Amino acid sequence: MGIVKISEDLHEHLRVASNALSRSINAQAEHWMRIGMLAELHPNLDHTEICRMLVRAELEGGLELKRLCGLADSAPVLESAGGARK
């Protein structure tokens, strides 16, 4: 475990979000970091798809980067403007 220094403004946003979502400040920060990491690794996925991927990962044994990368490769993708799924 390490210490991450963040701005006062971001800490205040974390405090508000953590209270609203009944999480600790650390848990809220970890949640945002997971979402951000996965969004950078898989820019083709939207927030809902990333959340589904995290739930699938948890059901299959927990958050593991190698596993999440594999799950994202098999995640449903949106087709053209119609929004139909594969």
Q: Residues 22-77: pLDDT tens digits? A: 999 999 999 999 899 889 988 999 999 999 988 888 888 877 766 666 655 565 54
Is there a domain that residue 83 lies in? no
* Dihedral of alpha carbons 40, 76, 17, 27, sign: negative
Is there a domain that residue 85 lies in? no
Note down the domain range covering 69.
Answer: 10-74
Cα distance between residue 41 and residue 75, in whole Å = 13
Helix (H, G, I), strand (E, B) or coil at 86: coil
Is there a domain that residue 66 lies in? yes
- Residue matched to tokens 């508000």: 16
Helix (H) or strand (E) holding 53, with range, is helix 47-59
Which carries the bigger pLDDT value, residue 61 or residue 9? 9
Cα distance between residue 7 and residue 58, in whole Å = 31
Is there a domain that residue 2 lies in? no
Is there a domain that residue 33 lies in? yes
Count structural domains, the chain.
1
Position 57 scores a pLDDT of: 82
pLDDT at 82 over 80: no
Is there a domain that residue 34 lies in? yes
